[in-house]
Amino acid sequence: MLDPVEKELVRSVEARLAESVAFLERVVNIDSGTFNLAGVREVGRCFQRELEALGFSTRWIPMPDAMNRAGHLLAERVAGAGKRVLLIGHLDTIYEGRGRRFERAGDIARGAGVSDMKGGDVALLFALRALHEAGILENATVRVFLTGDEESPALPTEISRRDLVEAARQSDVALCFESDSGRVAIGRRGLSLWSLEVTGAQGHSAYVLRERGGAGAIYEASRILDGFRSVVSAYPNVTINPGILIGGTEAAYEDDRSAGTASGKFNVIARTAIVKGDLRYLTDVERNEAKARMQEIAHAHLPGTTARLSYEDRAPGWPATDGNRAVLERIDEVSRDLGQGPREADDPVSRGFGDFNFIGAVVPGADGLGVRGDGEHSPDETIDLTSLGPSTARAAVVIARLLWLPR
């Protein structure tokens, strides 16, 4: 049941709902695709000014020029003896905003990043505004970390996520405001990229799969990919996806364009094949065992072929913990008290990786506390504006209850 202070938080959120929609429209109309560095920084400045007005000290954390990323915004209020809370969002969008401005039709609005995750950022901000007006932030320790490259984290992540990890180390609990699926994420799968390069003996196709001709690169690549399917069946949390396959007499792949070319003839055994894909997993054990089995499969060559399989780890897995479940219980309690119904844990397999993957081993918490929407990572991304008020109110009450807990 809500106490009088919490009821006032909800009233404050409702009173500012039109203002929050107007602010959302403002930031959505700033093109902030990950590689539009000026746009990401401009969105950051919008939030920076608002957070400073709430008594937060702020600083922009730049990234090295070679990384081609805008950097991150960190805002802090440090005081008190209660729980130290870290709130996470991101400023960049997967699609460029130009030509995808905020357009409202009734309760549905569309625009680049409107739900992923500028809508969540706005819920975070206006929850803090309600808490500030109620005086709850006066003796609180709250950090807000808005990354500028969540959709494509700069490499190496040891640098691009260093300050986020440090903020997590200085916190007791973290909440992330990615979009609301109806469930709460207390775990996400990690990501590794893999590259398979196969060679065969070029020759007349009349001799393919015979001692004189060998299997050729395309047959060998196909055998390996089919073998990868058996790895997936052994691990329910693991997926192995070949995203692009090119092969022939000649084949080349350009990483910066995510594109390739190939040439060959129907009567020539393929000399080369290239496959690019990803490996997703929940735990380090799953990742390492899947990698080992994939290598075994790749090295069991068909006649006349060779294969080289390499990996690049991008994001660690974030398995659910008892600490995460305790945070979920708090969120579920608040949701019920607000009349929003129960909140259950999301299936980690249903989501890609996010910023929480980089801090999940450091601090307990939950993700998916943002707004409801549709069409994420597409030009048709939308937000259900009726979810903005409830998401903001839920965040305000959850944060208040966490802050009042002893460490």
Give the model's pLDDT for residue 15: 98
CA atoms within a 13 Å half-sphere pointing along the CA-CB vector of 274:
15
Give the model's pLDDT for residue 98: 64
Q: What is the pLDDT along the chain (407 residues), one digit of tens a residue?
A: 999 999 999 999 999 999 999 999 999 999 999 999 999 999 999 999 999 999 999 999 999 999 999 999 999 999 977 899 999 999 999 876 666 899 999 999 999 999 999 999 999 999 999 999 999 999 999 999 999 999 999 999 999 999 999 999 999 999 999 999 999 999 999 999 999 999 999 999 999 999 999 999 999 999 999 999 989 988 999 999 999 999 999 999 998 888 999 999 999 999 999 999 999 999 999 999 999 999 999 999 999 999 999 999 999 999 999 999 999 999 999 999 999 999 999 998 888 899 999 999 999 999 999 999 998 888 889 999 999 999 999 999 999 999 987 76
Give the model's pLDDT for residue 377: 84
CA–CA distance, 176 with 187 (Å, rounded to integer):
12
Q: Look up the pTM and report it.
A: 0.92
Contact, 140 vs 55, CB < 8 A?
Answer: no
Give the chain's domains with CATH numbers. 4-188+318-404 (3.40.630.10), 190-315 (3.30.70.360)
Cβ neighbours around 404 below 10 Å, total: 13
